[in-house]
Structure formats: structure tokens, C-alpha cells
Amino acid sequence: MPIDILMPALSPTMESGKLSKWLKKEGDSVKSGDVIAEIETDKATMEVEAVDEGVLAKILVGEGTEDVAVNTPIAVIAGEGEDAGSVANSTAATPAAPAQAPAGEAPQVSSKQHEAPVSAVAAPPVVSAQPDPEVPAGTEMVKMTVREALRDAMAEEMRRDEAVFVMGEEVAEYQGAYKVTQGLLQEFGADRVVDTPITEHGFAGLGVGAAFTGLKPIVEFMTFNFAMQAIDQIINSAAKTLYMSGGQLGCPIVFRGPNGAAARVAAQHSQDYAAWYSHIPGLKVVAPYTAADAKGLLKAAIRDPNPVIFLENEILYGHSFEVPKLDDYVLPIGKARIARAGSHVTLVAWSIGMTYALKAAEELAKEGIEAEVIDLRTIRPMDTDTIIESVKKTGRCVTVEEGWQQSGVGAEIAARVMERAFDYLDAPVLRVSGKDVPMPYAANLEKLALPSVADVVAAVKAVAYV
């Protein structure tokens, strides 16, 4: 059967081009890889190679023809055993007028619709997290720091599953830069508690590769500020590969470490990345406040088959909370917790933002304003339902975060409240946040740059019109 050579598309956007030169003439034999013609696109002159073998029986579009639409037959090749002459004659009869075919009418093979596969209108799945497990009455509560709770969570999961290991800078022999991994090396050995060189990009990628094979790495960043070196691996490799592989290659990994401002460490060591990671489909982002949540959510993160960004806070490491003494305390990722009930205004916070929110709520209570404080706990997937239910009750909402306002988590919450509870709002949603500056070093300026209890109180009073 004679084979048509079609005008090729030579870039993702090409629709037509000029056939500038034929390098083979009628009667020439061609084989795979032979350059047969040159074509000018809007960008460059490209060579066209033959894919099929045979004899060039007929040239249908002459040299110098402009605006030849993509997929127009430009020549015919007679295959083996075919008579080039008769092929040429039979095709000569068919009207091949490619030059006249306007580019716009070119057959667009790529957009050809096959039997339209309409099963369902594509809609994002509805996310609903399970409620927290009941803590049985009479369960002993143990006071412990967030630091200890995190360590216990890792140790318990490492005992439970051989595939879990922890790696990062100073996690083993030094016992953790912030002592979060204290004792793990002694219990689990150097194969499972791995000190890395200072090489964030490299060990983040290494962790992701290990996770592709089914291991469950806990990758500690000394702080998330340094993870900016590794963010390509976190987003492009960890978050996207499940999708790009059509569900074949999961990435069960936890990236954890302190996030946001510590104290007096200036701009490069003080950034809050909650908004950055929460932007990315394919990631889960957790930012606990209490020790109990830190423990229950880190255990959940380690068991989760997806990449989880676990944002801790250096200042909170030393804070103590009651933690239920249970063998296996695992909390649901994606579920907010109402930390304080109230009816006048909804405060949404997480991580260290909760300290401002709770103190502000106490002060406001003295003035007769009862704030409902929601500890978001997970930034992505966000428990929008809990926020909306609260706002429907209070009619007012203030968000609290240390990160910047523009495209921040508070901005996202405000948008969702506007979309789903607009008619219930008695005032605009206000955002208390870090100021729009790089973090200054000087003590007085740093204090000004961070949100404060007074900022939260003022915002609440503004939305309450008092």
C-alpha cells in the first residue's frame, strides 16, 4: 500500500509551515532516518525524516509552497514490491491541493474526539475526615512537652513498622538539633536513624526515592527554612508522582521540622511555609499546637501513604500539655478541633497562632465577648466544614497566623467563608498575620513584625463593632 507522507507539526504550537526544500526527488529510494525535506516553521527550519521505507513515488507539494497545513499529504512513498509509477499515477488523479487548504481548516488529529468518555462530570472529591477517636473515660493523662510527644510518636511507629526510618542533620549522634529525636539512635541503631550531611536537596530527593520503593522515611529538616533548598523534590517528585504515574507510584514520606519564627534569628531563619505547601495538590500539611495533637497527628502522618508536611514550631517544643496515655493514640489528618466554644466570633488558628488566639479569647471573655477558637491542626486538606459551621453561628471570623497575608492561609479561609457563608457574615473576615516585611532581628522590631494578642483582640473588636 502506498504511504502518504504528511506535513508534520514540528512544535507544540505549529499549525502550518513552508515546504522550503525537497532533498529527495521522485524515484529516489528512501529508508528510515533519511532526511527528505526541509520545512520552515515560524521559529526555525527543520528537517523531515522518512519513517517508512520505499521509493518516493510522487511529490504532492512543490518546493517553496507556503502555508502548508499540518497533516496535508506532501508526498507518496511506494512500499516494497509496489510499482512507483502506478502509485504516482493513481495518486495524481486525487486532487491534492494542500497549498489552498487554509491552515485553520487543517484536520486536527490531536483534538479528534473519540467516543466521548462521559462517565461523570469531573468534580473534586468531597473530603470529610473522621472525628477524633474517643478517649475512654478514666484514661490517665500524662503531662509532656511537644518535643517528647513527637519523639514518642516516632519511636512508637518505628517499633510498629520496620519500614519507618528517620533521617536528617544531627538526628542521630547529636540526638537532634532540637532534641526531638533523643534516644532514637540508641533504640533503633544507625541503619534506621541516619545522620545526613548538610545536603537538604540531596537527602530530600533520596528520601523520596526510598519512599517510591515502599519505605516510610521521616525526613527531618533542621528547620523548614532550609527545606527551601529541597522544595523541588518535595513538590515535583513527592507530591506529583502518584498522579503522573496514574496511581502506580506512591510516596509515603513525612517531612517534618520546626517552621516559622523562633526568636531573634532574623529573616532567613524565621519564615512560615504553611501557605506555600498548602498550595500543592498531592501534599497533606499538618501544623499541630498541643502535645497530644502532635503525637496523634505525627503517628497518622507516618502511616499515611501520601507525602505529609509536618510543620512544628520551635517555641512550642518546650510547652507542656496533657496527653492521654494510650497504646496507640492516632488522630485523623484533616480534622479541626474546637479548642474553646463561643458564640460571638470565630477565631481560626493553628500551631503557635493558637497561643495568640487562646489568650485573646480569655481577654475578650473579660469584656463579655465569647470567642469560639478553632485549632485547624491540618492546613491541607482543610476542614472547611468546621469553620463554616462555626461562622454560621457567630457571623464573624478572624484568622490568626504568623505567615504573611498575601496568598496566605488566612486569605484562603476568608475566601472559603465568603463562598459558603456569605449570608451569615455580619462583618468582613479579618486576618491577623505577620507583617509584610522580612523578619527583623532587633527585639522591638521583631515583636512588631509578629502577630500579637493585642492584634487579635483589636481585630475581634473591629468585626464585633465594639
Catalytic positions, written as ranges: 200, 269
44/442 with CB nearer another protein: 44
47/362 with CB nearer another protein: 47
CA-wise closest residue to 1 among 74, 81, 71, 96: 81
* Environment class of 70 (CB within 10 Å of its CB; exposed 0-12, middle 13-18, buried 19+): buried
In degrees rounded to 5, what are phi and psi of residue 432? -100, 130
The answer to whether residue 247 forms part of the interface with another protein (CB under 8 A) is yes
Binders of another protein: how many residues, by CB under 8 A?
75
Q: Identify residues 57-76 at the interface with another protein (CB under 8 A).
A: 70-71
DSSP string computed for 179-191: STTTTHHHHH-TT
Tell which one of 73, 85, 183, 202 touches another protein (CB under 8 A).
202
The answer to whether residue 45 forms part of the interface with another protein (CB under 8 A) is yes
**Strands, DSSP E only, in 341-448?**
345-349, 371-375, 378-380, 397-400, 430-432
Q: Is 246 left (phi over 0), alpha (psi -120 to 50) or beta?
A: left
Cβ neighbours around 370 below 10 Å, total: 14
The answer to whether residue 108 forms part of the interface with another protein (CB under 8 A) is yes
User: Least distance (Å) from another protein to the CB of residue 22?
Assistant: 16
The answer to whether residue 109 forms part of the interface with another protein (CB under 8 A) is yes
The order of strands in the sheet holding 65-69 is: 45-49, 35-40, 16-22, 65-69
**Strands, DSSP E only, in 185-336?**
193-195, 216-220, 254-258, 284-286, 308-312, 320-324
The answer to whether residue 105 forms part of the interface with another protein (CB under 8 A) is no
The answer to whether residue 277 forms part of the interface with another protein (CB under 8 A) is no
333/364 with CB nearer another protein: 333
Tell which one of 121, 137, 140, 436 touches another protein (CB under 8 A).
121
The answer to whether residue 282 forms part of the interface with another protein (CB under 8 A) is yes
The answer to whether residue 249 forms part of the interface with another protein (CB under 8 A) is yes
Tell which one of 1, 97, 118, 137 touches another protein (CB under 8 A).
118
Stretch of 119-127, 254-262, 350-358, 406-414 lying at the interface with another protein (CB under 8 A) = 119-127
Q: Identify residues 298-327 at the interface with another protein (CB under 8 A).
A: 305-306
User: Least distance (Å) from another protein to the CB of residue 446?
Assistant: 32
Mention every residue, 6+ apart, whose C-beta is less than 8 A from residue 80: 53, 54
Give yes or no for a contact between 63 and 21, defined as CB atoms under 8 angstroms apart.
yes
The answer to whether residue 197 forms part of the interface with another protein (CB under 8 A) is yes
Taking the CA atoms of residue 139, residue 144, residue 147 and residue 150 in that order, the dihedral angle to the nearest 10 degrees is: -10
Tell which one of 203, 289, 317, 329 touches another protein (CB under 8 A).
203
249/267 with CB nearer another protein: 249
**Strands, DSSP E only, in 169-325?**
193-195, 216-220, 254-258, 284-286, 308-312, 320-324
Q: Which amino acid is at 300?
A: A
Q: Identify residues 390-419 at the interface with another protein (CB under 8 A).
A: none
Instruction: State how far the Cα of 454 lies from the Cα of 460, in Å rounded to an integer.
Output: 10
The answer to whether residue 232 forms part of the interface with another protein (CB under 8 A) is yes
173/191 with CB nearer another protein: 191
Stretch of 198-206, 367-375, 393-401, 450-458 lying at the interface with another protein (CB under 8 A) = 198-206
